[in-house]
Amino acid sequence: MAVEFYDVKTRQKVSIDDKNVFKTTFETKNGQVRFGLRGKTDDGRMLTKFVSKGDWDAATYPEEKTPKSSSKEKADAKPKANKKK
């Protein structure tokens, strides 16, 4: 069974095979968790579809591996001061 995503680049709905779909979560700046599915197109681009927590829990897709550094860590980092000589 394929999952339907909207491809913003081509402005069309596309079906992506189950083997190329992963479950993932996104954390907003204020700490809210969003649930989504990510699918890889034939040309290698990743598309995202946001789903409810119930749909996310019911999905049998593997969970996408997330990078170790989160966006929150980047947001908390202090900007470097520009020193003029």
Domain residue ranges in the chain: 2-63
Q: Residue 65 has what pLDDT? A: 82
Rounded Cα gap, residues 41 and 77, in angstroms:
34
Q: Residue 79 has what pLDDT? A: 60
Q: Which is it for strands 12-17 and 46-51: parallel, antiparallel or unpaired?
A: unpaired
With a cut of 70, list the residues of the chain below it in pLDDT.
66-85
- pLDDT, one tens digit per residue, over 54-69 is 999 999 999 988 654 4
Question: Helix, strand or coil for residue 77?
Answer: coil
Q: Residue 69 has what pLDDT? A: 42
Q: Residue 84 has what pLDDT? A: 66
